[in-house]
C-alpha cells in the first residue's frame, strides 16, 4: 500500500557539486549546489538563486566550473553549502581548499575534487518558476586516480556524494549493478 506524503522535493539521488567562479577581484568563490543536471551532451544546468555571490560572479565572468564532491571532501562540500560568500568574504580561504585556473575557461578548478566540468556561460533562464544558469561544457578534467578504461571516469573510483532531500543526509555512490541499454533488452522481445 502507498502512502501520500504531500508536496516534497523528493527526487533522489541528487549529485553534490561545488560550483566555482572568479570574482571581479580575481578571488575564488565556491558554493554547494545539489540542484544541478546535465541538460544536453555539452550543457549543464545549475538551478541556483540569482542572489548567490557565485551566481553574480558567473554572470560577470561568463565562466564557471562544476566540481564533483566525493566522500573525501564531504566536510568542505558541506561548508560550501552552509556558509554564504555574501556574508563571509574569506569563505574559500577558510575552506582550506586549493584552486588552479582552468586552461579552457576563466574559472577555478578545485584541485582536491576528483572531477571538474569546465564551462562557459551559455544562458541565464529566469522565469516566474525557474532560475537557472546553463553552461556549455568546454572540457572535463579528472584526477588520474578516477580515470578508467578508454579515458572514461570510473564512478566507483570517484566515490561521489549524493544528497538525500528526505533526511538531509549525504550518501556515497555505490557499486555498478547493471549495464545501461542492456539490462532491459529481454523485455524488447
DSSP 147: B
The pLDDT of residue 176:
87
Domain boundaries, the chain: 14-188
pLDDT of residue 165: 86
- Nearest-5° Cα angle at 34, 127 to 131: 10
Q: What is the DSSP string of 61-94?
A: HSEEEEEE-BGGGHHHHHHHHHS-TTT-TTHHHH
pLDDT tens string 103-132: 999 999 999 999 999 999 999 999 999 999
Tens of pLDDT, residue by residue over 53-100, are: 999 999 999 999 999 999 999 999 999 999 999 999 999 999 999 999
CB 109, CB 99: distance < 8 Å: yes
Q: Which residues pair with 133 in a beta bridge?
A: 46, 124
CA distance 141 to 65: 10
CATH number of 14-188: 2.30.110.10
List, for residues 2-48, the tens digit of each pLDDT value: 999 899 888 888 999 999 999 999 999 999 998 999 999 999 999 99
Antiparallel, parallel or unpaired: β 169-172 and 161-164: antiparallel
**Burial letters 150-177, b for 16+ CB under 10 A, else e:** eeebebeebbbbbbeeeeeeeeebeeee
| Residue 119 vs residues 13, 86, 108: alpha-carbon distances, Å | 23, 23, 11
Amino acid at each position: 500500500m502507498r502512502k501520500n506524503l504531500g508536496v516534497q522535493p523528493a527526487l533522489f539521488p541528487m549529485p553534490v557539486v561545488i560550483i566555482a567562479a572568479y570574482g571581479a577581484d580575481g578571488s575564488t568563490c565556491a558554493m554547494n549546489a545539489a540542484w544541478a543536471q546535465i541538460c544536453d551532451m555539452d550543457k549543464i544546468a545549475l538551478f541556483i538563486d540569482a542572489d548567490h555571490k557565485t551566481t553574480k560572479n558567473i554572470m560577470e565572468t561568463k565562466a564557471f566550473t562544476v566540481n564533483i564532491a566525493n566522500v573525501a571532501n564531504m566536510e568542505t562540500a558541506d561548508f560550501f553549502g552552509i556558509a554564504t560568500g555574501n556574508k563571509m568574504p574569506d569563505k574559500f580561504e577558510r575552506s582550506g581548499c586549493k584552486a588552479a585556473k582552468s586552461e579552457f575557461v576563466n574559472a577555478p578548478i578545485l584541485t582536491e575534487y576528483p572531477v571538474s566540468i569546465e564551462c562557459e556561460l551559455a544562458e541565464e533562464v529566469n522565469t516566474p518558476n525557474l532560475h537557472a544558469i546553463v553552461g556549455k561544457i568546454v572540457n572535463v578534467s579528472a584526477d588520474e586516480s578516477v580515470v578508467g578504461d578508454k579515458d572514461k571516469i570510473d564512478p566507483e573510483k570517484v566515490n561521489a556524494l549524493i544528497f538525500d532531500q528526505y533526511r538531509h543526509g549525504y550518501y556515497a555512490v555505490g557499486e555498478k549493478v547493471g549495464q545501461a541499454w542492456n539490462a532491459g533488452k529481454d523485455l524488447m522481445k
